[in-house]
């Protein structure tokens, strides 16, 4: 079935460090790909998305590129801040599945001052 695999956490970084969270997917067809973020005590919110191969999604200094050849959508940020501490979820949706989202397990990121 369609699924998303994320790198396991938790990830702990110092401020201004480079962040990468790996995400790979398995899907029959051409999914849209998403990163959602969940700050402590809150619901998830959309961080960025890409709908076709080679698209780059970006928001709040985060970027991810849809790589069809490696079935990946890795999230990166060049210089993290304490406020980036959150749980990050990779997800996919397919037209064949009525665009319902399939989520990865989530990666907890803690940024220390």
Partner 1 sequence: NAGVTQTPKFQVLKTGQSMTLQCAQDMNHNSMYWYRQDPGMGLRLIYYSASEGTTDKGEVPNGYNVSRLNKREFSLRLESAAPSQTSVYFCATNRVAGELFFGEGSRLTVL
Nearest approach, Cβ of 45 to partner 1 (angstroms)? 7
Is 44 an interacting residue with respect to partner 1 (CB under 8 A)?
Answer: yes
Is 25 an interacting residue with respect to partner 1 (CB under 8 A)?
Answer: no
The span of 21-29, 60-68, 71-79, 104-112 binding partner 1 (CB under 8 A) equals 104-112
Nearest approach, Cβ of 14 to partner 1 (angstroms)? 25
Residue 4 near residue 49 (C-beta atoms within 8 A): no
Q: Which of 10, 40, 41, 70 binds partner 1 (CB under 8 A)?
A: 41
Nearest one of 62, 65, 60 to 50, comparing CA atoms: 65
The span of 13-21, 60-68, 72-80, 86-94 binding partner 1 (CB under 8 A) equals 86-94
Residue 93 near residue 32 (C-beta atoms within 8 A): yes
The burial of 79, by beta-carbon neighbours within 10 Å (0-12 exposed, 13-18 middle, 19 or more buried), is given as exposed
The burial of 5, by beta-carbon neighbours within 10 Å (0-12 exposed, 13-18 middle, 19 or more buried), is given as middle
- Contact residues toward partner 1 (CB under 8 A) are 4, 32, 34, 36, 41-46, 49, 89, 91, 93, 95, 98-101, 103-106
């Amino acid at each position: 079935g369609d699924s998303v695999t994320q790198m396991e956490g938790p990830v702990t970084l110092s401020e201004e460090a480079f962040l990468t969270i790996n995400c790979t997917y398995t899907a029959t067809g051409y999914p849209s790909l998403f990163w959602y973020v969940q700050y402590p005590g809150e619901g998830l919110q959309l961080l960025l998305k890409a709908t076709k191969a080679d698209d780059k999604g970006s928001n709040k200094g985060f970027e991810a590129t849809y790589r069809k050849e490696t079935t990946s959508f890795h999230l990166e940020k060049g210089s993290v801040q304490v406020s980036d501490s959150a749980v990050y979820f990779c997800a996919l949706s397919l037209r064949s599945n009525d665009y319902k989202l399939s989520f990865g397990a989530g990666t907890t990121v803690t940024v220390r001052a």
